[in-house]
Amino acid sequence: MGYKNLKFENNALFLVTGGAGFIGSNLCGAVLDMGYRVRCLDNLSTGKREHVSMFQGHRNYTFLEGDITDPETCVKACEGVDYVLHQAAWGSVPRSIEMPQYYEKVNIGGTLNMMEAARKQGVKKFVYASSSSVYGDHPQLPKREGQEGKVLSPYALTKRVDEEYGRLYKTLYELDTYGLRYFNVFGRRQDPDGAYAAVIPKFIRQLLNDERPVINGDGRQSRDFTYIENVIEANLKACLAPPEAAGEAFNVAYGGREYLIDIYRQLAEALGKDVEPVFGPERAGDIRHSNADISKAKRMLGYEPEWSFERGIEAAIQWYKENI
């Protein structure tokens, strides 16, 4: 179970793009803990330098400061690499609505640069971050691969296009690509600051500071919140998946469904706070309900998530208490 007993070649080299970010830095740490080599590529536009410095004394870790929008940097980063874990992207649905051209450049152009570099350098597996946002306005629950609606934001569109390139790079160039549709990932080192911060760390920080958090809409939106350990497992198991599974996209979640208002109440209780939230307007481009069918990832990747929402939120609360 999990990922810590997975075996790769001796001296295997993993490239983690966006390795100074929340998910990327957790992937770097997991691979290092397993005894393999990590090369981190990040331009530090949204990632944090402390997520690099925490590993820089490790003999198996190297940091390459560079941008995925530069094709030469991507080729250099892929040199000698066995597995690419491509996390570098600009996130946030609301921000993408404000900056569609930039999202096109980074999330589509940068991912295409990375796939091409991986192909040229003979990388074995190319695992990349997609998003549950690709389901768009399709009403079905749970969300199932192959049943997508119209995308609701430029961010969602960039991830949809990335998946199409992933399919083409498998069929045209025999690069084994695996797209991971993350569902609302949370956990240690997720940034609670800024206008586009994810809801769980933002709620925790505001409650710890006795501030009144803002809930967009009525709080009855539901999400399949997914703890970071499950995401690490999916990435590493995709690196060991058979070529027959390549070119596909997979839901990465726990398979649960939590309502925002319930999560808020749970966090307030766990932190011993009696603070009423403020209800604000709904955010443009947001999906109302999200819940994943993870049977495809189980069947084709051997994905068996161990971290429920309840277990994950306990660990996250403890981490934020100690670190913010």
pLDDT in tens, 263-277: 999 899 888 988 888
Q: Closest by alpha carbon to 198, among 117, 131, 295?
A: 131
pLDDT in tens, 39-92: 999 999 999 999 999 999 999 999 999 999 999 999 999 999 999 999 999 998
pLDDT for res 195: 67
Burial 177-196 (b: 16+ CB within 10 A, else e): bbbbbbbbbbbbbbbbeeee
Section 7-15 average pLDDT = 97
Split at pLDDT 50, 70, 90, the class of 288 is confident
pLDDT for res 196: 63
Look at residue 283 and tell me whether its pLDDT is greater than 80.
no
pLDDT for res 214: 86
What radius of gyration do the chain's Cα atoms show? 19
pLDDT in tens, 225-256: 999 999 999 999 999 999 999 999 999 999 98
Question: Phi, psi (5° rounding) for residue 229?
Answer: -60, -35
Section 5-20 average pLDDT = 97
| Mean pLDDT of all residues belonging to the chain | 94
Tell which wins on pLDDT, 111 or 258. Answer: 111
Q: In the chain, what are the domains?
A: 13-187+227-255+292-306 (3.40.50.720)
Share of the chain above pLDDT 70, in %: 99
Split at pLDDT 50, 70, 90, the class of 324 is confident
Q: Which of 3, 36, 155, 165 is catalytic?
A: 155
**Catalytic annotation present for 103:** no
Whole-prediction pTM value?
0.95
Beta strand ranges found along the chain (DSSP E): 13-17, 37-42, 61-65, 83-86, 125-131, 177-182, 185-186, 214-216, 222-223, 226-227, 248-252, 258-259, 278-280
Residue 146's CB: how many other CB atoms inside 10 A? Answer: 7
pLDDT for res 275: 86
